[in-house]
Structure 1
Amino acid sequence: MLREEQIDLRRERARQERYTIERLGRNRVFSDFLVKNPATEGQYTVRIRGFELGDNSCTCPDFKANTLGTCKHIEAVLDDLREELPEHIQKRKAAVTQPSLYLHYGEQICVALAIPARRSDSLEQIARRYFDAHGLWNSEYSYESLLTALGSVAEVINVAPEVYDFIDRDNEKRLLREKEIDWLWHLDRGETPTELRDLVKVPLYSYQLRGVVFLATRLRSILGDDMGLGKTIQTLAAVEILARERGLRNVLIVAPASVKYQWQSEIQRLTDRTALVIEGLKDARENLYNRDSFYRLVNYEQVVRDFDLINACEFDLIVLDEAQRIKNWESKTSRAVKRLCSKFAFALTGTVLENNLEELFSICQFVDERRLGPAFQFMEEHRVLNDQGELVGYKNLEALREKLRPILLRRTRAEVLKELPPRIDTTIRVDLAEEQKVPYEEQRTTLIRLLQKNSRTEIDRKRILACIAYMRLVCDSTRLIDPTQDISPKLDELEELLPELIAGEGRKTIIFSQWEQMLRHCAERLEKARIPYALLHGGLSGPDRKAVLERFQTDPECRVFLSTDAGGTGLNLQVADTVIQLELPWNPAVLEQRVARIHRLGQERPVQNIQFVTRGTIEERVVETIAVKKQLFTTLFESDRDEITFRALEQSGFIDTLRDWVEISKEKPPLALAATPVISSAEVIEAGLNFLDLLAHSDWPRAMLPEQLKKLADSCDLIQRRARESGGTVENFG
């Protein structure tokens, strides 16, 4: 039933789209057709061989991945033909005039053979030996033996180019699999095979060597190791193997803008390969793509702008660093990245899954678009819905783990880094100052009034979310909402705490905030105290980010690194031993990314993670939010449970939870985390707080007046625009 619905959906889309269709062959019906969409300028070639499901093919990505045997482009051509053809013609199939070897895109991709009615006995025997009654591959023999046999028959065999590519990939997989077995056999015995020696300029840990082997022998795979385990060095070592063993010539690394230069530095430090950062205006970037370099480095936003230039380079390997950047499969960046062409592909991420299984599906599409099946099938197999069609859990997780096993390697720090120094987590609670209580209570009152309405409009819902954002700003500093006031118990506490934290030779501290303006206020306090610092935020250019990072890493006088979440991913900052969170992000993955900047390989001192929380406010509930999101990740990757369930994510449940938040008395003692039901805030997380994820990742502009925030409450679009203007990433929300 589900597959029929998906087929009907594509037929409906074919009728709605305004395609232009051009016949490429001489035959009126059974020919190749060029299908163009003037709205998107996309075009694909459709081959028509019949009017039944599975008869035809298309070059579009959907046809190759959906396993349905059709797509909207095929259906558009068939509709066009049906209008002008009599019914008896529509029952025919294209006559096979020449033996053809092609790829069949069904539940699995396989080699197929079409032979004419009149054929030699030798060809008939080959068809029976290697293929089933439908012409699909069904043999224990090798593809090489098939090609040899076909070369001996009298007929000329038409072999589609993609067949050779498919066979080459299959042979490569087999050869690399044999090497993997051999290399692991030696590693299990404490031996390092010759091919795994001197890959990079520093020694590799045993677990890293196994990661290198995994990457180098799987063609396209995901390295999902915990942050801080050395995904960069494992990648560079795997590249060296592929360069030596498989003739790898050029590599594209796609990374967040904040870490492009760090990749360049690591390549220069660990290898003898050349590495070129692509940047500048279009003409300059085009010249850089054409320059000779083994590695070329771009950020995710450039993939959209430079898509044709990148694919023209014909990279052998594409590496995605922080691959969770493509977790939203509907974003332009995600779609562009998945259309990049290369034989080999590595996706690197310490957070394979942040919020839901759909994100994992999106990352898998980059390395193997058919591994988890089409999206509609994946949703049906793994999502649990209630009678209203709302998500209430996930199922069949063991089957999902089994599908992922060939392409995903994940190790935790607890598993492999017994020698990692201890991490100490400390929560410092502060009280609202009198000047903060008035604006906070005003927003809390507004929020309660909105929640008490019997019916709420979409504008009401946006105002609810904006009130929450306002309350969080107030908890940091009154100056974020009113530039005439400078009241911040958090910064006052930080002033007292910081001299002790940086006392002693070589001690350094990183301070994170979601708001750029909060960091600027913090910087003013540091200047008064004559404490040298470096400031990183999303608005800096690539060279400026590099300079800021190098100053903190190399200047012994620069003791403090102020950063938005632009510095929370991909950067190695082991020179510090303390992380301070001026406020907690909604997303636990973001929190762990921050701490992992210093609690990683190379760190020799105990690490402190200090987080500020304002008593009796919404900030105390963020701790619950973090615990809930962690539960899904743990269940999938670190347990053997087959199902996870949580309460229905109903609109009323979302509102009820908000009401609980704002109506709790401020005099009530903070909730003990151990006594808090883990699932108590699930409704908030999954029922619309992608919006709050945006706020959590954004660098807000200069201090915002209350009037501006009232407009903000009326318009989600304004919030998105503000985030973009200040260097935030709107793609994180969704």
Structure 2
Amino acid sequence: MLLSVPYSIRMVSGDTDNVSSEIEWVVDDPPAISKTAQTDAEDATAHMRAVQAHRFEVIQSKQDLLAVEEVKDQVKLLDHQLSAAHQAITSMGRGTLFADEVGLGKTIEIGMVLKEMDLRETRDSFLILTPAQLAPQWQHELEEKFGLEFVCNYDDAFQGFDAHDRIVASVDTAKGKRHRQDVLDRHWDVLVLDEAHYVRNEDTKRYNLIQEIDYQEALFATATPIQNDVSDLYSIINLIRPGLLGTKREFQNRYLADNDASELKNADDLQRKLDRVMIRNRREETDIDFTNREVRTNAFDPTADERRLYDTVTDYVRSNYSSENAAHLVLLLLQKEVVSSPSAVASTVEKWLRGEGAATVHDREHLQEIKDLADGIETTTKQRRLRDIVETIHERLDKTRVVVFTQFRSTQQEIAESARKLDQPVHTVDGDLSSKEKDEVVSQFESEGGVLVATDSISEGRNMQFCNVMVNYDLPWNPMEVEQRIGRIDRIGQEREVHVFNLALEDTVEEFVLEKLYGKINLFTQSIGGLRDILSRKEQSGADFEQEVFDRLRTADNRDELENNFEEMAVDLEDNKEAAEKMGDFNRSVFENFDFGGGEA
């Protein structure tokens, strides 16, 4: 018979609902008892310790991530990613903010959590909300890496937010009049919000939507939880764990020095609370050896025929532009095509001459002149330069692998025909291919080598770390699109130096964009998060980047005015860059003494 021994339970760390919290069994001091009774008491204590040890074994067995074994062939999990996923599942309660620095794989961490929930069958309904351009990428990565099938709001099969249990959607689609009520009318087991800093403003429809969604568990992700001041952090945390930081006034009074959003007080207390909801890893704290990126930007002198074609197209664009109708969209397209390839220009103009989509385009004689000039160019300057690059790579590497990006189908065909003359395997991928077909082409490229000629249909969602050479045959005017291209090969898992070649024609819009704009923001050394911050500031001013480039080009009467126009735009970009860098420094200063996500799995 065991002697009844008084004891108490004390939680050593974490919340009372935290399954991984340590529990101390504290035996109260007993009154004086006989030796036999003391032995019985010791036996009772040993028994309780054995029971507790068994309980911890059971808990630990439940904490082991089943998903690790399931995804090991698809995902090379890094230590910090595994630790973050483990921490989110075992010790973060009903919500987690994944705040790793850019490039450390927050999508992988959340994917691991979702996979674990799927394997344990603990959650049924999942809603993932992202910026519009990232929704298909999330859908693809969850299926490819974790075997999780989600319907995307851009899919033909999407029937509404009340018709599916696993949805990836644009946050702006979800907040729109057509779908908002359907999103709010049901309970979601898990809500995932990517780029959570976009909902930091409490006075926006995005914030109100997230605040009103009925969900059990939240997984938010952002590399920049603070955009303007520490109040941004409060807004995001309050969506994930309402009340954790008190009311907004209480938060300001307790943590901001004299209500100054640029200076903290009681930082240790704030850290303890953030530790309960936030995981943050920094690049320098991981064991990832990021490779170097070498970028070669060459502006080549076009031939006389190419120069004549460019000038003729530019003159046509300027004389036919009108912001009052849709013509400016097709003219912008034509201006992009003329620095890509003659075949791209000829293809578009030929359609207009046939009356396809040219209702607002005038001057058939001028169009015919453009087509004749384009048809008369057989070999272009960019074709010759691309051949030089491929031949050089072929001489230096055992297996040639070069990815060539273009925005236009006609240019893609022209590149492929030219590359085949180099006796190299040539692969093409564009938006007409299904996701499975794209995967097959990329797989063939990996095994056979050669040249992959791709449109921007794979600039997101396809990772090709097996290749380390990329050519931007033509350049998108939006720097985010350029970085997304490079991000296909320059990412975690790339073990070699990345080489990027930018081809441009001298004294054209490409050269101005490269030198004046991309140069000012150091595009090719910027993180993608930094680019988003720079461009988001421009978007807040109501200016569309590509439209502004086009306007600066078409309104210039001569080269000097064109240079001045682009210089003004470059100064604005540089101001945005400096503001974004200052905010990045502030972010780091706020968190520099914090030790988020430091525990090991």
TM-score by length of structure 1 reads 0.46
- What residue is the counterpart of 2:416 in the other structure? 523
Equivalent of 2:68 in 191, 195, 200 = 200
Distance in 2, matches of 1:438 and 1:477, equals: 13
Given residue 106 of structure 2, which amino acid in structure 1 is its aligned partner? K
Q: Does 1:514 align with 2:407?
A: yes
Say yes or no: does 1:438 pair with 2:308: yes
Q: Relative to structure 1, is the Cα distance of residues 335 and 522 closer, same or farther in structure 2, using a 3 angstrom cutoff?
A: farther
1:25 matched to which residue of 2?
none
| Counterpart among 89, 93, 108 of residue 233 in structure 1 | 108
Match of 1:537 among 430, 438, 442: 430
Deviations 1:6-46 (A, max 9, x none): xxxxxxxxxxxxxxxxxxxxxxxxxxxxxxxxxxxxxxxxx
Deviation digits for residues 246-302 of structure 1 (CA, Å, limit 9, x no counterpart): 94345455764466344223114xxxxxx3354899997779x999xxx94656599
Please say if residues 444 and 467 of structure 1, whose CA atoms lie closer than 8 Å, have aligned partners that are also in contact.
no
Partner Cα distance (1:238, 1:196) in 2 = 12
Match of residue 289 from structure 2: 419
> 1:351·1:589 contact (CA, 8 Å) conserved in 2?
no
Residue 481 of structure 1 corresponds to 345
Q: Rate the CA distance shift 1:281–1:649 in 2: closer, same or farther, 3 A.
A: closer
CA gap 1:440/1:283 in 2 versus in 1, 3 angstroms? closer
Deviation readout 1:97-128 (Å, 9 max, x if unpaired) = xxxxxxxxxxxxxxxxxxxxxxxxxxxxxxxx
State the match for 2:251 in structure 1.
none
- Contact 1:277 1:296 survives alignment (8 Å): yes
Aligned partners of 2:416 and 2:426 also within 8 Å: yes
Aligned to 1:494: 386
CA distance in 1, matches of 2:298, 2:19: 54
Cα distance, 1:522 vs structure 2? 1.8
8 Å contact from structure 1 (residues 337, 366) kept in 2? no
Structure 1 CA distance for aligned equivalents of residues 543 and 108 of structure 2: 45
**Residues 685/223 of structure 1: CA separation in 2 closer, same or farther (3 Å cut):** same
Structure 2 residue aligned with 1:276: 149
For 1:586 and 1:259, how far apart are their aligned partners in 2?
25
Deviations 1:679-708 (A, max 9, x none): 52549999xxxxxxxxxxxxxxxxxxxxxx
Distance verdict in 2 for CA 1:637–1:306, change over 3 Å: closer
Change in 2 beyond 3 A, CA 1:334/1:580? farther
Instruction: Determine if contact 1:260/1:542 at 8 Å carries over to the other structure.
Output: no
Report 1:493-642 matches (<5 A): 493-502=385-394, 504-553=397-446, 556-623=447-514, 624-626=516-518
C-alpha distance in structure 2 between counterparts of 1:447 and 1:284, whole Å: 40
Indicate the SS of the match to 1:432: coil
Corresponding residue pairs, total:
447
Encode CA deviations 1:329-384: one digit per residue, 9 max, x unaligned. Answer: 9999999999865322335577999xx98xx99xx88993999xxxxx9xxxxxxx
Deviation at 1:649, TM superposition (A): 8.8
Residue 482 of structure 1 aligns to a residue whose secondary structure is: helix
The residue matched to 1:511 in structure 2 has which SS?
strand
C-alpha spacing 1:650/1:586, structure 2 compared with 1 (3 Å): closer
1:501 alignment partner AA: I
Contact 2:473 2:502 in 1 (8 A): yes
The 8 Å contact of residues 443 and 467 in structure 1, kept in 2 or not, is answered as no
The match for 2:559 is 664
Distance 2:155 2:333 in 1: 38
Match of 1:346 in 2: 219
Is the aligned partner of 1:470 residue 2:365? no
> Does the Cα contact within 8 Å between 1:491 and 1:522 map onto a contact in 2?
yes
Given residue 459 of structure 1, which amino acid in structure 2 is its aligned partner? Answer: E
Residue 680 of structure 1: SS of its match in structure 2?
helix
| Rounded Cα–Cα distance in structure 1 between residues aligned with 2:557 and 2:274 | 44
Q: 1:280 to 1:432 in 2, by over 3 A?
A: same
Give the direction of change, closer, same or farther, for the CA distance of 1:264–1:497 in structure 2 (3 Å limit): same
Matched residue, 1:392:
none
1:213-250 residue CA offsets vs partner (Å, 9 max, x unmatched): 66542745554656653334312333366679994345
Give the 3 Å change call, closer, same or farther, for CA 626–577 of structure 1 in structure 2.
Answer: same
Distance, in Å, in 2 between the alignment partners of 1:196 and 1:629 is 45
- Displacement of 1:536 in angstroms is 3.1
Question: How far, CA to CA, are the matches of 2:560 and 2:571 in structure 1?
Answer: 18
In 2, the alpha carbon distance for the partners of 1:463 and 1:597 equals 34
Q: Larger relative contact order (C-alpha < 8 A, sep ≥ 6)?
A: 2
Aligned letter for 1:519? Q
> Which AA in structure 2 matches 1:499?
E
Once the two structures are TM-superposed, the CA of residue 463 in structure 1 deviates from its matched residue by 6.6
Quickly say closer, same or farther: Cα 1:667–1:299, change in 2 above 3 A. closer
Deviation at 1:592, TM superposition (A): 2.3
Residue 468 of structure 2 contacts residue 489 of structure 2 at CA under 8 Å; is this kept in 1?
yes
| Contact persistence 1:252–1:298 (CA under 8 A) | yes
- Percent sequence identity is 19
CA distance, structure 1, for counterparts of residue 381 and residue 200 of structure 2: 37
CA deviation map 1:145-199 (0-9, x unaligned): xxxxxxxxxxxxxxxxxxxxxxxxxxxx9557896999xxxxxxxxxx8736665
1:459 to 312, 324, 339: 324
Query: In 2, distance between residues paired with 1:622 and 1:408?
Result: 39
Q: Which moved more, 1:516-525 or 1:421-430?
A: 516-525
SS, match of residue 421 in structure 1: coil
Local SS of the residue matching 1:317? strand
Q: 1:659 to 1:310 in 2, by over 3 A?
A: closer
Q: Secondary structure at the match of 2:495?
A: coil
Q: How is 1:237-386 mapped onto 2 (pairs within 5 angstroms)?
A: 237-239=112-114, 247-249=122-124, 251=126, 256-257=135-136, 260-268=139-147, 275-276=148-149, 278=151, 296=166, 298=168, 315-319=188-192, 341-348=214-221, 368=239
Quick one: distance in 1 between partners of 2:336 and 2:156?
44
Q: How does 1:7-156 map to 2 (within 5 A)?
A: none
Q: Distance in 2 between matches of 1:449 and 1:282?
A: 40
Q: What's the secondary structure of 1:599's corresponding residue?
A: coil
Per-residue CA deviations over 1:521-553 (Å, capped at 9, x if unaligned) read 222323444433443333433443343344434
Mapped to 1, the partners of 2:180 and 2:222 lie a distance apart of 22
* 8 A contact 1:581–1:611 mirrored in 2: yes
Q: Do 2:136 and 2:461's aligned partners in 1 also have CA atoms closer than 8 Å?
A: no
Q: CA deviation at 1:446?
A: 6.0
Taking only aligned residues, the RMSD between alpha carbons, in angstroms, comes to 6.1
How far, CA to CA, are the matches of 2:483 and 2:439 in structure 1? Answer: 23
The AA in structure 2 aligned to 1:470 is L
Tell me, in whole angstroms, the C-alpha distance in 1 between the residues paired with 2:463 and 2:384.
29
Q: How much does 1:582 deviate? A: 1.7
* Aligned counterparts of 1:411 and 1:512: Cα–Cα separation in 2: 33
- Equivalent in the alignment of 2:48: none
